[in-house]
């Protein structure tokens, strides 16, 4: 059963005359933190699920258009733009197998398979992957290049419909299928792969770069453009500087100021590499803020999407 069906099942459990809060639905899905991602997912299923109009934010405000009118018909007291005292109508007795909790367990299992030893020290080739989106249609690109000259050797593109929304912490369940398809379309396996997203710098120590590295059995490095987890004590001085990011006191990656921008990138091992080597090899391919292989894959995926859009 896919995520959207699981969400539909939950929402369908909300009885007429009652409402449900985002946080409680997220809880029923197995991760309270997923609440922030639900409005978008609810909009996606709303066509086939009228009960989605019974879902409210914690402050009693509606998510979907038409919610207040629908609730009025159901006999829920609406005042102004919100449901006053929504708590009184709250439904919480959801029956669920908590799909996100299951996925978290898969990540934990995957984390145990991660190898934090160097599988490469001097890669001959490097590759980068990235995804662009048209709704839930993913366009993934993979670029293979010479690690020394940074000349492109080969490119591949793949289009895949995804059935999983973007939820922080669960990115791999959305992007892994398209990325794998693009990666496998390359004429050769790269010695090292850069992935757009974190590696072990992840709540379950298993971000998309780790999962991809395990699945494809190659060394991978995760490159996050924004913070996800970890403690950072020291400050990053200037361009080219890096500071460790720790989880439980252990160095899991680095915040690296790769460009003039004050926003660093977050480097962490995906698989078959140490944090230190990941930092060194990333430095070697950063001509701008983002490693070249990823930057090129990003450009490729985006251009492909745009070309399709105005055709």
Stretch that binds DNA, among 45-53, 72-80, 91-99, 195-203 (CB under 7 A): 195-203
Closer to DNA by Cβ: residue 29 or 76: 29
The correct pick among 60, 62, 128, 169 for binding DNA (CB under 7 A) is: 169
Q: How far is the CB of 227 from DNA (least distance, A)?
A: 5
Closer to DNA by Cβ: residue 14 or 206: 206
Stretch that binds DNA, among 56-64, 119-127, 151-159, 217-225 (CB under 7 A): 217-225
The correct pick among 207, 253, 291, 293 for binding DNA (CB under 7 A) is: 207
Who contacts 263 (Cβ-Cβ below 8 Å, separation ≥6)?
225, 226, 289
Q: Helix or strand or coil: residue 250? A: strand
Pairing of strands 125-134, 220-224: unpaired
Q: How far is the CB of 84 from DNA (least distance, A)?
A: 21
Closest Cα partner for 42 from 63, 66, 59? 63
Stretch that binds DNA, among 42-50, 62-70, 130-138, 152-160 (CB under 7 A): 130-138
The correct pick among 18, 53, 202, 257 for binding DNA (CB under 7 A) is: 202
Rounded Cα–Cα distance for residues 231 and 246 (Å): 5
166 binds DNA (CB under 7 A): yes
Rounded Cα–Cα distance for residues 224 and 209 (Å): 10
Rounded Cα–Cα distance for residues 25 and 125 (Å): 45
Closest Cα partner for 278 from 172, 215, 207, 176? 207
Q: How far is the CB of 298 from DNA (least distance, A)?
A: 7
Stretch that binds DNA, among 22-30, 84-92, 108-116, 202-210 (CB under 7 A): 202-210
104 binds DNA (CB under 7 A): no
Closer to DNA by Cβ: residue 94 or 227: 227
Pairing of strands 125-134, 192-196: parallel
Rounded Cα–Cα distance for residues 270 and 272 (Å): 7
The correct pick among 27, 67, 132, 220 for binding DNA (CB under 7 A) is: 132
Q: How many residues would you count in the chain?
A: 311
Q: Contact at 8 Å (CB) between 59 and 82? A: yes
Stretch that binds DNA, among 66-74, 77-85, 129-137, 148-156 (CB under 7 A): 129-137
Rounded Cα–Cα distance for residues 73 and 118 (Å): 63
Q: How far is the CB of 189 from DNA (least distance, A)?
A: 22
Q: How far is the CB of 268 from DNA (least distance, A)?
A: 9
The correct pick among 152, 181, 259, 302 for binding DNA (CB under 7 A) is: 302
Q: Helix or strand or coil: residue 261? A: coil
Pairing of strands 242-247, 250-256: antiparallel
Mark 79-118 as b/e (b = at least 16 C-beta within 10 Å): eeeebeebeebebeebebebbbeebbeebeebbeebeeee
Q: How far is the CB of 190 from DNA (least distance, A)?
A: 19
Closer to DNA by Cβ: residue 68 or 128: 128
| Residues engaged in binding DNA (CB under 7 A) | 33, 130-133, 166, 168-172, 196-198, 202-203, 207-209, 222, 224-229, 231-232, 298, 302, 305, 309
């Amino acid at each position: 059963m896919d995520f959207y069906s699981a969400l539909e099942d939950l929402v369908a459990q909300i009885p007429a005359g009652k409402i449900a809060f985002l946080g409680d639905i997220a809880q029923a899905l197995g991760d309270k933190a997923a609440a922030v991602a639900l409005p978008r997912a609810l909009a996606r299923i709303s066509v086939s699920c009228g009960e989605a109009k019974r879902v409210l934010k914690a402050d009693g405000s509606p998510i979907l258009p038409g919610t207040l009118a629908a609730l009025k018909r159901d006999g829920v007291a609406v005042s102004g733009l919100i449901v006053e005292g929504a708590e009184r109508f709250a439904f919480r007795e959801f029956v669920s197998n908590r799909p996100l909790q299951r996925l978290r367990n898969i990540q934990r299992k995957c984390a145990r398979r991660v190898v934090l030893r160097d599988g490469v020290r001097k890669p001959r080739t490097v590759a980068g992957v990235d995804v662009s989106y048209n709704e839930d249609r993913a366009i993934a690109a993979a670029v293979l290049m010479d690690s020394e000259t940074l000349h492109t050797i080969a490119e591949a593109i793949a289009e895949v419909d995804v059935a999983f929304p973007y939820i922080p912490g669960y990115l791999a369940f959305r992007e892994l299928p398209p990325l794998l398809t693009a990666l496998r379309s390359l004429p050769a396996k790269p010695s090292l792969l850069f992935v757009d997203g974190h590696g072990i710098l992840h709540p379950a120590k298993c971000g998309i770069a780790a999962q991809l590295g395990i699945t494809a059995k190659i060394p991978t490095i995760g490159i996050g453009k924004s913070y996800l987890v970890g403690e950072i004590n020291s400050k990053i001085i200037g361009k080219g500087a890096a500071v460790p990011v720790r989880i439980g006191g252990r160095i899991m990656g680095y915040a690296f100021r790769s460009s003039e921008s004050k926003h660093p990138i977050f480097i962490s091992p995906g698989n078959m590499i140490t944090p230190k080597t990941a930092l060194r090899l990333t430095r070697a391919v950063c001509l701008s803020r983002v490693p070249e292989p990823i930057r090129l894959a990003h450009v490729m995926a985006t251009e492909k999407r745009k070309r399709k859009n105005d055709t």
